[in-house]
Structure 1
Amino acid sequence: MLTLYKPGSGWLHRMPAGPKLLLVLSVVLLVSLLPSHWFSAGLAAAVGILGYAVAGLGPGLHGIKELGRQVFAIRWVIVVTVVSQLIFMGPEPAVANAARVTAAIALAALLALTTRVTALLDAIEAGLRPLERLGLDPQRIALLLTVTISTIPVLGRRASEVRDAQWARGARNNPRTFVVPFLIVALKHADELGDALTARGVR
């Protein structure tokens, strides 16, 4: 399964997957609940920068550089969010909501960067095990959450790679020429994901 995980020895890498997941989800929830005001945009940006700066992803400004790569990978998501919000809601909500969405995705990527998929899956499954009494399947729920957390930043990176390849060939910014190659890449990722799930015994 394709993931963003990068081996490392920082404190966030060493932190157990369960507590790390709760920490990241709590921060994402707080960012998501911010009101749509100017200060929320600055606060969401500050949370994202601080998260990558203290995550221990590498020496010096390595964490900030990684944040830049993650934001650059989802730049089209940001553009679409800002433009659509500008049309229907105005500048302040557009900037605030785009900042919150960007921070949430970047923090999800931070979790994926520092946690192996298997460790994350095991942690979610263990946390959901009490739900078996209610007739729910913790393994399937854990798998769904893990795939969702892992897939969003991966597809963002793939979208960036498709756009960069088009620029290298001299293609203009045309949504029609972008959508088809991106769909092919996304479907290929879905096939790889399906093969990985089948290998794990999921039907």
Structure 2
Amino acid sequence: MLSLYRPGGGWLHRMPAGPKLVFLALVAAVLAALPSTWGSAPTAVGAACLLYIASGVGAAELLRQTWALRGIIVVTAAGQLLFLGLESAVANTARVVAALLVAALVPLTTPVAAMLDALERGFEPLRRVGVDPARLALLWTIALTTIPVLARLATEVRDAQRARGLRPSLARGAMPFLVLALRHADDLGDALAARGIR
């Protein structure tokens, strides 16, 4: 499985995986729950930026993660502008982006093995109702690490189009992106099968 982990010595890197997951989930939930007002946009974005800087992950990684979200920013802002107006569009887009940036700190500051262990311990009570905590933890970990991988694949498709002298477009990029995404899914499935996970 591809690891998005960036080694570091900041307080977020040193925090145990379980408490870190709970802390960042709470921060993301609070940011997502802010009201749709002008003041919410700088509050949400400022909080996410502060977390990146204060945790030692850094401004460069913050810019990389924000750039990876540019498609989500455009789609969210356009949809909100169409139906809700400028204030709500700015506030809601900022809240979504801030929550996603905070969520990205989990795989960036937590090794995959530590994340799996923490999630498995957290899901242990579900064993009483017939849920396998190990499988559920693996599912969540794959979901957390796959979203940035798909963003990277989309960037690779756009870069390949530019290298060929083409103007990047959704129509031209959809098929290559789909092929790369399916290839990634196949590789991931093969890796899981090789480890005896069905």
TM-score (norm 2): 0.92
Between the aligned partners of 1:104 and 1:201, the Cα distance in structure 2 is 35
TM-superposition CA deviations, 1:77-103 (whole Å, max 9, x none): 111111111112211221112112211
Q: Does 1:9 align with 2:12?
A: no
Task: Give the corresponding residue for 1:104.
Answer: 99
Task: Give the corresponding residue for 1:60.
Answer: none
Between the aligned partners of 1:100 and 1:153, the Cα distance in structure 2 is 19
Task: Give the corresponding residue for 1:157.
Answer: 152
Task: Give the corresponding residue for 2:49.
Answer: 49
Q: CA deviation at 1:17?
A: 0.9
Between the aligned partners of 1:67 and 1:127, the Cα distance in structure 2 is 28
- Is the contact between residue 73 and residue 159 of structure 1 (CA under 8 Å) also seen in structure 2? no
Between the aligned partners of 2:38 and 2:158, the Cα distance in structure 1 is 30
Between the aligned partners of 2:187 and 2:7, the Cα distance in structure 1 is 22
Task: Give the corresponding residue for 2:126.
Answer: 131
Task: Give the corresponding residue for 1:120.
Answer: 115
Q: Does 1:144 align with 2:139?
A: yes
More displaced stretch, 20-29 vs 192-201 = 192-201
TM-superposition CA deviations, 1:112-141 (whole Å, max 9, x none): 111111210110001111221222221122
> Which residues of structure 2 form unaligned runs of 5+?
none
Same amino acid, percent of matched pairs: 57
Between the aligned partners of 1:136 and 1:188, the Cα distance in structure 2 is 29
TM-score (norm 1): 0.90
Matches within 5 A, 1:162-177: 162-177=157-172
Q: CA deviation at 1:71?
A: 0.8
Task: Give the corresponding residue for 1:87.
Answer: 82
> Which residues of structure 1 form unaligned runs of 5+?
58-62
- Structure 1 residues 163 and 50, CA gap change in structure 2 (3 angstroms): same
Task: Give the corresponding residue for 1:19.
Answer: 19
Q: CA deviation at 1:72?
A: 0.6
Q: CA deviation at 1:192?
A: 2.2
> Aligned pairs, how many?
198
* Higher RCO (CA 8 Å, separation ≥ 6 residues): 1
Task: Give the corresponding residue for 1:65.
Answer: 60
Question: SS in structure 2 opposite 1:38?
Answer: coil
Q: Does 1:202 align with 2:191?
A: no
Task: Give the corresponding residue for 1:39.
Answer: 39
More displaced stretch, 40-49 vs 3-12 = 3-12
Question: SS in structure 2 opposite 1:19?
Answer: helix
Between the aligned partners of 1:109 and 1:133, the Cα distance in structure 2 is 31
Matches within 5 A, 1:173-184: 173-184=168-179
Between the aligned partners of 1:119 and 1:192, the Cα distance in structure 2 is 22
